[in-house]
Amino acid sequence: MKKIIAVDGPAGAGKSTVSKIVAARLGYTYIDTGAMYRAVALKVLENGKSVEDVIRDIEIKLDEAGKVFLDGREVTKEIRTPEVSRGASDVAKCGFVRKKLTELQRQMATQGSVIMDGRDIGTQVLPNADLKIFLTATVEERARRRFEELKAKGFAADFEQIKKEISLRDKQDSEREIAPLAMAEDAILLDTTNLTIEQVVAKILRLAQA
């Protein structure tokens, strides 16, 4: 049984949804690193301070149920707005933010069996993970998923705009100087475009139990 599982991939590939289910099935701790960057972005937006000021004394915690806490306040829903999503991409470019959060993520991974998802888990955060998965899907499919997700949550959504934003996010994530989005050499590629959530979960469970 693989103890440390790293799941990477672009926005909208299904990393969080799938990883959360796999963690529950295996009894592992699920760590959503994207939520941590979103929490930083939320604090910047709310306080109007610089990222440098915000990151200095920020406190981010994730519980076993997947809830996110920022400085002691639950912000699970607040970090999922389109505005925070855009802000998360900006703060993720900052080296000092990545350094602080990477240290925290590595500490979390020492507390038992975990599945951690993000953009640079297999390449930067947990390069020695027992299993590395790279989830992807076409831009059109990822945009469709995000469109449906936003509509379900009551947000106004425009498919073409979402598609443009995802394409831009892909470009920014893959071209940034610090910890760019990339598939680790020893990662297993899973294209989820034509797969259901349960099919992707089943594939990862088989790999984890091999």
| 134 phi and psi angles, rounded to 5 deg | -120, 105
List the helix and strand counts (H, then E) for the chain. Answer: 8, 8
Global pTM reads 0.88
Q: What is the three-class DSSP state of 188?
A: strand
d(CA 170, CA 11): 7
Write out pLDDT tens, residues 163-200: 999 998 898 888 888 888 899 999 999 999 999 999 99
Q: What is the three-class DSSP state of 115?
A: strand
d(CA 12, CA 147): 10
Assign residue 187 a region: left if phi > 0, alpha if psi is -120 to 50, beta otherwise?
beta
Average pLDDT over residues 132-146: 96
Q: How many CB atoms lie within 10 A of CB 91?
A: 22
Q: In whole numbers, what is the pLDDT of the chain averaged over residues?
A: 92
Write out pLDDT tens, residues 66-93: 789 999 999 999 998 889 988 988 898 8
State how beta strands 4-8 and 114-118 pair. Answer: parallel
What is the dotted CATH code of the domain comprising 4-205?
3.40.50.300
Write out pLDDT tens, residues 105-121: 999 999 889 999 999 99
Helix (H), strand (E) at residue 134:
strand 131-136
pLDDT at residue 64, as a whole number:
75
Average pLDDT over residues 139-157: 91
